[in-house]
């Protein structure tokens, strides 16, 4: 039996699919765009207002002689940069101090943090309490921490040295250039090691214990386990920790300000303190922003080289 099909009422399934699915797809697309804008938009605006726009304004002011107060902004071109590179020994001395401090602080902080992580990764009954104790200094603000340790160095160590006669406690910790340098390193490492410990602990918990057990059965020592198996497996954690400690050490300000204030005789003055004094104490805002741009470029170079080098080691491992 032949069935009559009315062409006017017939529908092509493909056409019908396009019509039915086409409209919802456009609606879903706009819905997704609006959803992303609602979540990402405020954060993006906040980032632009707080980070990008001030940075671009700082680049502009670095080519001016603005004092930070006057409404008159005079364009001076590269004069600020020429002055920094030809006639600003204090800035380069602060750079040398900050660079030496960065290397010492990064090595010591990561060694302590990794050591704490290895200790807490073991089956200790008190490891949860120890994690809290080791991480607690990172919660304390830099200024408060600096004043606490200033009291410890000046009053506490002096009292212990007078009672025991131990030369270590009788040193002029904040009154001499060398001991003041190591005093800042000690406090920085004490503050930041707990933070590094948390990252290393998270990485160690991802290591397959069967690999370690197999290596122990083959006669590997604990030192071999750490250097040949554990460290290569958690190299991404080292990349993160090195990046964080390098950037934090370079940008040290509040701890340095509260401990020594840059003294004695500006021997422990960090770059951040030098820029702060230039811009807000001496009212040379244009010169201060020029120093900050140079500082930004140097820190970016250091961190980029470090990340590239450690990422390369990750691939090789």
- Examine residue 38 and state whether it is found in any structural domain, yes or no: no
Angle value at C-alpha 100, between 95 and 103, nearest 5 degrees: 125
Q: How many other C-beta atoms are found inside a 10 Å radius of the C-beta of residue 177?
A: 14
Q: Name the region of 283 (left: φ>0; alpha: ψ -120 to 50; beta: rest).
A: left
In the prediction, which pLDDT does 128 show?
82
Q: Domain count for the chain, please give it.
A: 1
In the prediction, which pLDDT does 16 show?
45
- pTM reported for the whole predicted model: 0.83
Sign of the Cα pseudo-torsion (212, 218, 222, 227, in order): negative
- Examine residue 206 and state whether it is found in any structural domain, yes or no: yes
CB 239 within 8 A of CB 314: yes
203-220 per-residue burial string, b: 16 or more CB within 10 A, e: under 16: bbeeeeeeeeeebeeeeb
Low-confidence ranges of the chain (pLDDT < 70): 1-24, 315-317
In the prediction, which pLDDT does 317 show?
57
Among residues 98, 76, 68, 105, the alpha carbon closest in space to that of 284 is found at 68
In the prediction, which pLDDT does 1 show?
45
- Examine residue 207 and state whether it is found in any structural domain, yes or no: yes
- Examine residue 70 and state whether it is found in any structural domain, yes or no: no
In the prediction, which pLDDT does 17 show?
43
End-to-end CA distance of the chain: 75
The CA radius of gyration of the chain, in Å to the nearest whole number, is 29
At residue 127, the 3 state secondary structure works out as helix
Structural domain harbouring 253: 87-316
Question: What are 64's strand-pairing partners?
Answer: 75
Read off the pLDDT of residues 95-116 as tens digits, 9 standing for 90 and up: 999 999 999 999 999 999 999 9
- Examine residue 9 and state whether it is found in any structural domain, yes or no: no
In the prediction, which pLDDT does 315 show?
60
In the prediction, which pLDDT does 68 show?
82
In the prediction, which pLDDT does 69 show?
83
In the prediction, which pLDDT does 10 show?
46
- Examine residue 72 and state whether it is found in any structural domain, yes or no: no
CB 254 within 8 A of CB 141: yes
- Give the domain CATH number at 202: 1.10.3720.10
Q: How many other C-beta atoms are found inside a 10 Å radius of the C-beta of residue 308?
A: 10
In the prediction, which pLDDT does 288 show?
93
- Examine residue 25 and state whether it is found in any structural domain, yes or no: no
Question: CA torsion angle for 300, 182, 279, 297 (degrees, to 10)?
Answer: -10
Angle value at C-alpha 295, between 307 and 74, nearest 5 degrees: 145
Cα–Cα dist 148/161, whole Å: 18
- Examine residue 151 and state whether it is found in any structural domain, yes or no: yes
In the prediction, which pLDDT does 94 show?
93
Sign of the Cα pseudo-torsion (87, 91, 94, 100, in order): negative
The structure tokens listed for 66 are 């603005």
Cα–Cα dist 112/34, whole Å: 47
In the prediction, which pLDDT does 31 show?
81
The structure tokens listed for 190 are 């004490």
Angle value at C-alpha 32, between 28 and 35, nearest 5 degrees: 135
64 phi, psi to nearest 5 deg = -125, 170
């Amino acid at each position: 039996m032949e069935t009559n099909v009315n062409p006017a009422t017939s529908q092509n399934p493909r056409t019908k699919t396009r019509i039915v699915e086409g409209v919802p797809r456009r609606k879903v697309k706009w819905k997704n765009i609006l959803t992303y804008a609602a979540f990402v938009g405020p954060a993006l605006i906040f980032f632009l207002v707080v980070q990008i726009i001030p940075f671009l304004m700082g680049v502009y002011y670095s080519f001016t002689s603005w004092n930070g107060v006057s409404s008159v902004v005079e364009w001076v071109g590269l004069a600020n940069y020429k002055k920094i590179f030809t006639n600003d020994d204090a800035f380069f001395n602060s750079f040398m101090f900050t660079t030496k401090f960065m290397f010492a602080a990064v090595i010591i902080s990561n060694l302590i943090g990794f050591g704490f992580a290895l200790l807490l990764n073991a089956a200790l009954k008190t490891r949860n309490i120890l994690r809290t104790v080791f991480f607690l200094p990172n919660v304390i603000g830099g200024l408060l921490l600096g004043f606490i340790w200033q009291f410890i160095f000046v009053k506490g160590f002096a009292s212990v040295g007078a009672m025991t006669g131990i030369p270590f406690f009788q040193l002029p910790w904040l009154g001499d250039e060398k001991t003041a340098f190591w005093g800042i390193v000690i406090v920085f490492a004490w503050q930041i090691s707990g933070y590094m410990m948390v990252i290393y602990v998270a990485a160690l918990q991802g290591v397959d214990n069967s690999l370690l057990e197999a290596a122990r059965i083959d006669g590997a020592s604990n030192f071999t386990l750490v250097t040949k198996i554990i460290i290569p497996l958690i190299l991404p954690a080292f990349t993160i920790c090195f990046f964080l400690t390098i950037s934090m050490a370079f940008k040290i300000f509040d701890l340095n300000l509260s401990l020594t204030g840059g003294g004695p005789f500006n021997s422990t003055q960090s770059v951040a303190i030098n820029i702060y004094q230039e811009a807000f104490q001496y009212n040379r805002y244009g010169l201060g922003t020029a120093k900050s741009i140079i500082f930004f470029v140097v820190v970016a170079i250091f961190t980029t080289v470090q990340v590239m080098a450690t990422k390369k080691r990750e691939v090789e491992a």
